A and B are shown apart, each in its own frame.
Chain A
C-alpha cells in the first residue's frame, strides 16, 4: 500500500470513528474516482472494499451497499476475472450487509450478475451462491435463497436440507413432508445432480423416520440402489424410485412408474415432462391447433 493510500485511509477511519459518515463517504468517493480515472484499479478496489466494510460494520447500510455497487462498477471497468480472490472480496462484504437492508436483494443480484458475466457459469459462481443464499434466507427471501442453494456448493446441500426440515416442522402439518422433500429431489434432478438428490433426500428421510416413529418402512438394497419402502407414504416411494429411474435412463421404467402412481404423475405433470425430455428423450408434442393447420394449408404457408 502506498503512503498516500495509507494516509487516505487514516483520514477516512478518523471520520468514521467520529461518526461523520457523510463526510467520510464523500471523501472516499472523490479519492476512489481519482484512482479509477487514473486506471489504478487495484488501488481503487482495495480502497472501496475497505470503506464498504467499514460502513457496514458501523451499521451504515446505505453507504456500505452504495460502495458495493461502486466496487462492481470498478470490477467491470478493470475487467476483473471471476476467481477466488474477486469472489471472496464480495462474499466478505455480503456477510456484513444487514439482513434488514432494503436493497439486500439488489446487492445479491448485482454480485451474481457480475459473476454470470465473468465466469463460465451460466447462472453464476457456486461459492458466491452459497453466501448469497444464506443472506437471502436471513432476509426472508426463501424461494430466491432456494434457487441459490441448488446452484451452490456441497455445503449448500446441507443448508438446503436444514431449510426444508425447519420449514416442514414450522408448517405444523405432519403429512406435508413429501411436499418438502420433493422440492430437493426435483431441483437436483433438473440439473443432473444425482449425488446431491440422493444425499439430500436420504438425510431428510432419515430425519423424518426418527421424527415420526409410526412411519413404517423397510430398507431395500439392490445393485447400487438403496431405498426405503414406506407402508403409508406412497409419495416417498414414488420419489425415491424416480431417482432410480433417472439413473437408469430406461424409458420403460419411467413410464411404468407413472402408470403405477397416476395421481402423483398428475400432480407432478410439468416436472415429469421436463425429466422425461431430459433423461429419457421423450419429446413433448405440441397440442395440435386444427384451425391454424387448416388455414396455413389453405393459404399455402407453414
Chain B
C-alpha cells in the first residue's frame, strides 16, 4: 500500500468512532505520576543568546 493510501485509510478507520481522548484532553498535572522515557539529546547545540 502506498503511504498516501495508508494515511487516508488510517484516518478513515480512526474516525469510525468518537476518539476516547478528545482533542482538548489533558490529564490534570496533579494526576501525572510518570514522565515517560527521557528523549536522547539532539546533535545540535542551542544558544539562547542568538534568538
Counting chain A residues whose Cβ lies within 8 A of the other chain, the interface size class is 35 or more
Q: Which residues of A contact B17 (CB under 8 A)?
A: 248
Rounded to whole angstroms, the CA-CA distance of A172 and B13 in the bound complex is 38
The yes or no answer to A108 lying at the interface (CB within 8 A) is no
Closest residue of chain B to A191 (Cβ to Cβ) is B32
A179 adjacent to chain B (CB < 8 Å): yes
Which residues between 143 and 168 of chain A lie within 8 Å of chain B, taking CB atoms? 143, 147, 150-151, 162-163, 166-167
CB distance from B22 to the nearest CB of A (A): 7
A66 interface residue, CB < 8 Å from B? no
Interface size on B, residues (CB 8 A): 42
A166 adjacent to B46 (CB under 8 Å): yes
Known: A137-B48, A166-B46. A247 touches B23 (CB 8 A): yes
The secondary-structure label for the interface of chain A is helix
Main secondary structure of the interface of B (DSSP, over half): loop
Docked-complex contact A187 and B39, CB < 8 angstroms = yes
The answer to whether B10 touches A244, judged by C-beta atoms less than 8 angstroms apart, is: yes
Q: Mark A161-192, 1 if CB is under 8 A from B, else 0.
A: 01100110011110010011011001101111
Question: Is the CB–CB distance between A227 and B11 below 8 Å?
Answer: yes
Partner of B36, one of A187, A245, A253: A187
Complex Cα–Cα for A247 and B39 (A): 22
**Closest CB of chain B to A129's CB: distance in Å?**
9
Given contacts A222-B11, A271-B37, contact A192 B25 (CB under 8 A): yes
Partner of A229, one of B7, B26, B35, B48: B7
Q: For the complex, what is the distance from the CA of A17 to the CA of B13, rounded to whole Å?
A: 70
Interchain CB contact (< 8 A) of A171 among B7, B14, B44, B51: B44
Q: Could you write out 21 A-B pairs with CB less than 8 Å apart?
A: A121-B29, A122-B32, A142-B46, A167-B44, A170-B45, A179-B42, A191-B32, A192-B25, A193-B27, A194-B22, A194-B26, A225-B19, A229-B8, A244-B10, A247-B22, A247-B23, A256-B10, A260-B1, A260-B6, A275-B36, A278-B36
- Contacts from A to B (Cβ < 8 Å): 119-123, 126, 137-140, 142-143, 147, 150-151, 162-163, 166-167, 170-173, 176, 179-180, 182-183, 186-187, 189-196, 198, 220, 222-225, 227, 229, 231, 234, 237, 241, 244-250, 253, 256-257, 260, 270-271, 273-275, 278
